[in-house]
Structure 1
Amino acid sequence: MTPDTSPRAVPPPAAIAHIALSSVLLPLDTPVSDAKVLTGRQRPMTEVAFLFAEITTEDGHTGLGFSYSKRAGGPGQFAHAREVAGDLLGEDANDIGRLWQKLVWAGASVGRAGLATQALAAFDIALWDLKAKRAGLPLAKLLGAHRDSVRCYNTSGGFLHTPLAQIKDNATRTLEAGIGGIKIKVGQPDAATDLARVAAIRSHLGDDVALMVDANQQWDRPQARRCCRALEQFGLVWIEEPLDADDVEGHARLTAEFDTPIATGEMLTSVAEHWRYIERSATDYLQPDAPRVGGITQFLRIAALADHQGLMLAPHFAMEIHLHLAAAYPREPWVEHFDWLEPLFNERMEISDGRMVVPDRPGLGVTLSDRVAGWTVARHQVGTPRPERP
């Protein structure tokens, strides 16, 4: 038998050769409660589930992406990612938009929003990280940055389970660390308790410090109008999620009625859901979450629509991703500082004079810490590993 001596096709350098998925449960030091816990809708949060995707090309470049879920959904994201990961092998990692569509169609029967596309977000974010690394640029620079730092505010020190005295201490330490704003939770069963806490924090901070409040969807329309009116006196940067996330009309009315800006968007899981708010100007600050909407590709679509409508931007959670995306938004945005994710990464975000500084490292600028292995509950790989570039 004559041996086969025909030339073999050589994969291009950017062809995807290997994908590693990890399901990680990050424990929280203290169970976290917001208004949804006080009303019995949810239980206190004790951990956050992460789906990490590491994508390596033939020439050894690797991109890191992640999605997450709170309270439920982590195993589902991991299961869906396992099913579709193989569809990326051999593909050109530069073709991010086309690959997002390919993965969506691979799981078309489970829809284009929610858990399915949140699983895809880990791949999409990894591909953007990889593309920026191949270019030798921070992701913000690859996207076209408008600034090298972004105003930042802290949320993790102001939850409803935290006593008022502790919130004051947390706020003081936060400002001393260089963070520029403080957000506290509202939505107590007794609105008077909310107002007393907000008044106490405003008095503690003074009038010049940026202060936001977040009701986590706990008010109906009459409650929201009364509370928004009462909160006008405190000079807030915004009132967040005063109504159910599906109530576009209610948010539109509040946005039109009150001087204090209205913020919402973190619970929306698609471009289409965000567009309902954007086209109605039903919020002042839009708060998209890249892992929740399917990744950076979808986030950029939302951001372009929001800018066209003149909306402000304040992405939700995951500052390691959203710092870069906020830096590329034309209008001066805010980014949310959460220290919960810090144990996952070797790097720390630099904060100075109320702003978070875009790292000069290529890509997202983060690498997984050794501690992640101890929190990993499942792994899956497809393809053939390649030696990683130094």
Structure 2
Amino acid sequence: MMDKISRVRVSSCYLPLAHPISDAKVLTGRQKPMTEIAMLFAEIETADGHGGLGFSYSKRAGGPGQFAHAKEIAPVLVGEDPSDISRLWDKLCWAGASVGRSGMATQAIGAFDVALWDLKAKRAGLSLAKLLGTHRDSVRCYNTSGGFLHTPIEQLKANAAASIARGIGGIKLKVGQPDGALDIQRVEAVRTHLGDAVPIMVDANQQWDRPTAQRMCRIFEQFNLVWIEEPLDAYDHEGHAALALQFDTPIATGEMLTSAAEHADLIRHRAADYLMPDAPRVGGITPFLKVAALAEHAGLMLAPHFAMELHIHLAAAYPREPWVEHFEWLEPLFDERIEIRDGRMLVPTRPGLGLTLSGQARGWTREQFSFPS
């Protein structure tokens, strides 16, 4: 007998950050400092007693919109076979097609899609990585949370050294300030402090124009960086492609794209050496796997953005050696922790994502919707 989805629950949870976070978008006046992350959780139950947990998220704005869209489309899942994930993605998409097939709409779908994959792996008694087919049992990782622009240089150096001592493999520094000399000073200080052997990345968060990006990329060549991330607007594929062709330092971008189709256009332009898809942003694991297949075919390296609790599984299944971004921000939401050793994250072996929501996550929940009610 076919198992069927019997209940769907969505929750809107707001995760407070310990300190206001500033990157280049704040220093250029385009955004305010980030103080919380809006999480959208989806929990799916079946008639046979199986369950799956998925999530999406939004920073600074969009959390209420994601939750509202998820409430509207959630009922179409009830009565369906949870194994038919690709078909259910299409059904969810068409249920809300009038608002488009990217952006907030697909981010709401992402929470359901992740929950369905989590459920499927649990039913198989496998971790998500094993269900997809792993190429490795650990993945290189780098820390971003210690390198934001609000951090003074001495603290920046201390944060970087502490991350390496903890076993994290690389350090990413935010750049893109109005005064580029400050960016150079900060990168040079950390490179000198850590030495030449430690992998360092930089991220301009889309805040340079083309002449500034060329100038800064040329200067940064001396620091032997793993990549320069988002030097230009996320949709300036031609500009990114020109930088990737001109400089030895790889160009990384893709985190702001919100569909597989947008990533396909980026790849067609050869606009990145490192592709940085974000599974919740593109609509979940189903479209992420399409992006990964395109990236592999194009010979690109992979470094998924944020949400290490999910992306560790997806990166483990990518044929070429990837990087995963270490952010401890989401840890209070879950009872489990990812183990880090010798510069790498160990892929969890628990069934599914290997995650359960913490009591703290329940406490930060502001709204819930269940169907049937």
TM-score (norm 1): 0.95
* Counterparts of residues 274-285 of structure 1 (less than 5 Å): 274-285=263-274
Q: In structure 2, what residue type is equivalent to 1:310? A: G
Secondary structure at the aligned position of 1:183 is classed as strand
**Aligned position for 1:268:** 257
**Cα distance per residue 1:32-53 (max 9 Å; x no partner):** 0000000000000000000000
C-alpha separation in 2, matches of 1:192 and 1:351: 34
Secondary structure at the aligned position of 2:359 is classed as coil
**Cα distance per residue 1:97-142 (max 9 Å; x no partner):** 0000000010110110000110000000000000000000000000
Give 1:289's match in structure 2, choosing from 270, 278, 283: 278
**Cα distance per residue 1:1-50 (max 9 Å; x no partner):** xxxxxxxxxxx453101111110000000000000000000000000000
**Aligned position for 2:49:** 60
**Aligned position for 1:310:** 299
Matched, 1:231 2:220: yes
C-alpha separation in 1, matches of 2:115 and 2:220: 41
Matched, 1:342 2:322: no
**Cα distance per residue 1:231-255 (max 9 Å; x no partner):** 0000000000000001000000000
**Aligned position for 1:44:** 33
**Aligned position for 1:69:** 58
**Aligned position for 1:9:** none
Matched, 1:32 2:31: no
C-alpha separation in 1, matches of 2:283 and 2:84: 16
**Cα distance per residue 1:309-338 (max 9 Å; x no partner):** 000000000001000000000000000000
**Aligned position for 1:188:** 177
Matched, 1:142 2:131: yes
**Aligned position for 1:78:** 67
* Counterparts of residues 1-390 of structure 1 (less than 5 Å): 12=1, 14-383=3-372
Aligned residues: percent identity? 72
C-alpha separation in 2, matches of 1:319 and 1:263: 18
Q: In structure 1, what residue type is equivalent to 2:52? A: G
Q: In structure 2, what residue type is equivalent to 1:59? A: D
C-alpha separation in 1, matches of 2:291 and 2:241: 18
Secondary structure at the aligned position of 1:365 is classed as coil
Contact 1:13 1:59 in 2 (8 A): no
C-alpha separation in 2, matches of 1:169 and 1:135: 44
1:341 is displaced (CA, Å) by: 0.2
C-alpha separation in 2, matches of 1:132 and 1:272: 26
1:383 is displaced (CA, Å) by: 2.9
Secondary structure at the aligned position of 1:196 is classed as helix
* Structure 1, gaps ≥5 residues long: 1-11, 385-390
C-alpha separation in 2, matches of 1:14 and 1:283: 42
Q: Could you list the structure 1 runs, at least 4 aligned residues long, displaced by more than 3 angstroms after superposition.
A: none
1:373 is displaced (CA, Å) by: 1.7
C-alpha separation in 2, matches of 1:13 and 1:156: 45
Contact 1:151 1:333 in 2 (8 A): yes
The count of corresponding residues between Structure 1 and Structure 2 is 373
C-alpha separation in 2, matches of 1:13 and 1:139: 22
Q: In structure 1, what residue type is equivalent to 2:9? A: A
C-alpha separation in 1, matches of 2:73 and 2:194: 49
1:59 is displaced (CA, Å) by: 1.1
Find the structure with the greater CA-based Rg. 1
* Structure 2, gaps ≥5 residues long: none
C-alpha separation in 1, matches of 2:35 and 2:25: 14
C-alpha separation in 1, matches of 2:183 and 2:365: 38
**Cα distance per residue 1:130-165 (max 9 Å; x no partner):** 000000000000001100010000000000001111
